[in-house]
Amino acid sequence: MANKLDKLKEMTTVVADTGDFNSIKKYQPTDATTNPSLIFKAATEQMEYQSLVEEAIQYGQSKAQDFDSQKGHIIDKLMVNFGCEILKIVPRRVSTEVDARLSFDIQGSIDKGHKLISMYEKAGIDRERILIKLASTWEGIKAAEQLEKEGIHCNMTLMFSMPQAIAAAEVNATLISPFVGRIMDWYKKSENKESYAPAEDPGVKSVTEIFNYYKKFGYNTEIMGASFRNVGEITELAGCDLLTIAPKFLEELQSSEGELPQKLHIEKAKESDIKKLLFDEKSFRFALNDNAMGIEKLAEGIRKFTADLIKLEQFIQEKIQKA
């Protein structure tokens, strides 16, 4: 009997949510995603990746004299280095994140997207294999709109609400990554609950709502559930376009046998009774602000990614000083 990971792969594209190459090789996902937190963990905890760090440092030092001027180049090169290595393993795409400190800077995000794509192309990687990850702020969504027009594909991250999902689809973002587990975290705290049955999990319900909306109205933007807290959340979203899954849950799925029914269906979504919504900047900001969970988790996510990016910069600076 096939294991549940293999069964899931029959109906959903499985993506590895890690910067660890060995885990990617083991579970053979189609795509992989990274973020500052994952890169920080891989770069600081595993010696096998130090050559990628050293190469990034040398690159940054060739671009500027002082560390404050070098660090942006070093981080960009490190992200691209990891992405290039991951693309030697996965057959399709890798997501590379834009600096979270640019979350409210449209032109800064566009410029960073251009730079990352240029670095990948200089490394011999076609832009079709790269997703530029942007925060799902109004500014991030407008940056994605411009980048998509230029043939640069975007993955809208820190996604917690329907207004974000709808606005991203309206600008033809290639992919969105709604954060299932972080949504559940907020509701557990807010409702003082220990847990939810998978079908009643607020994060699962959010992704299901977005899936039904997208398929009902024929959007091309793909949905990739992310940030899971348990395998039940994953299996309840079987049939979603993509799911990005941490190695510990990939292992749990691979080690489990049994039925894995498809829960999300395009045909059922098309039959659902859903009203179409559109957002301009004012209505988007109001709707997001009116969603306490959405606005709080977005802000928290930006802070966390920024903090991990700063820790990565500090790690690199200390490494340079010791050299």
Which positions are catalytic?
133
Distance CA 198, CA 315 (A): 39
Element (H, E) at 13: strand 13-17
Q: Where are the beta strands (DSSP E) in 18-174?
A: 31-33, 94-97, 130-135, 154-159
Distance CA 40, CA 19 (A): 9
Q: What is the 3-state secondary structure (H, E, C) of 165-209?
A: HHHHHHCCCCEEEEEHHHHHHHHHHHHCCCCCCHHHCHHHHHHHH
Distance CA 132, CA 156 (A): 8
Structure tokens at 13: 């594209």
Cα Rg of the chain, angstroms: 19
Buried-state track 219-254, b at ≥16 Cβ within 10 A, e below 16? bebbbbbbbbbbbbbbbbbbbbbbbbbbbebbebbb
